[in-house]
Structure 1
Amino acid sequence: MRRPRVLALAHLHTAETLKVEYGDADRYFPDALAAVNKLLRDFRTGDVHDIDPALLDLLAALRARTGTATPFQVISGYRSPQTNAMLHRRSPGVASGSFHMKGQAIDIRLGDVSLGALRNAALDLGLGGVGYYPSSNFVHVDTGPIRTW
């Protein structure tokens, strides 16, 4: 039985959207992963980096857990070291060794799921780090160690 892995993403800074079948139960699709890498590039520098397929699986699990019917609204995907250093200088909340620089983190929200419910769903999954930023209207998820802030 074929089980497609599908995601819908809308990048808020570039206005780009992508609905993609990025894999099935047995494998990931290289062309689809390349399209995701491009969409989740550092929008400030244009640098593209490989996104951890486990991060896509985490998003797919969040989609299933929340029952969302809308694309993930992406605030930040990959960040180049230069961008991350600039953001770290501006805000102590930006980690100097951010998982964004490894393609293992994404900042998101959903149009049809409250921010609190999205955070709770991510916490329930227990698949990595979960940061809650209600004043900035996003949830951070990553495939690093399980931790919360």
Structure 2
Amino acid sequence: MTKIILAAAAALVSLGTVTQADELPTAAYLPVAKAVEAANAAVESCKAKGFAVTTAIVARSGETSVLIHGDGAGPHTNGSATGKAFTSASMGRPSGALAGGIASNPPLAGLRDMDPRLVILAGGLPIRINGQLVGGIGVGGAPSGDIDAECAIEGLKAIGAEVPE
């Protein structure tokens, strides 16, 4: 009799687990193949302008998905690109807009110290597809953050992601 009660209890618990699994939320993500496509497009865009850069793509979680170090790009560009991508994925905004916001509102300067992975310079953009934030793209190595951002935009366009205004 005890074995039958335990078996019935186990069956009921497993039914609850199935119901809970059905209720789990789903999250949009950027497939690695698309991340590689975006990163390549950004590197090639800057290369066509005569600049050797590195492009990083990070997932919404902030984890690096892709890092492409362009031929001739400096060693510092890996960290720059990754930090800009992390910043945009984390904040959901272009990294350059955050830099401008801090410059015009000094009390926001603490953002720079919030997380050591943040790089608050132009060249990072959030990756949004169908309105969903799925990551960030960061470019580092061009002579200015504005040029880095232009190349990042080409990466977004290559995968049909939304281009921030």
TM-score (norm 1): 0.33
Larger-gyration structure (1/2): 2
Specify which structure has the higher proportion of helix: 2
User: Could you say which structure has the higher strand fraction?
Assistant: 1
When normalised by structure 2's length, the TM-score is 0.30
- Larger relative contact order (Cα-Cα within 8 Å, sequence gap ≥ 6): 2
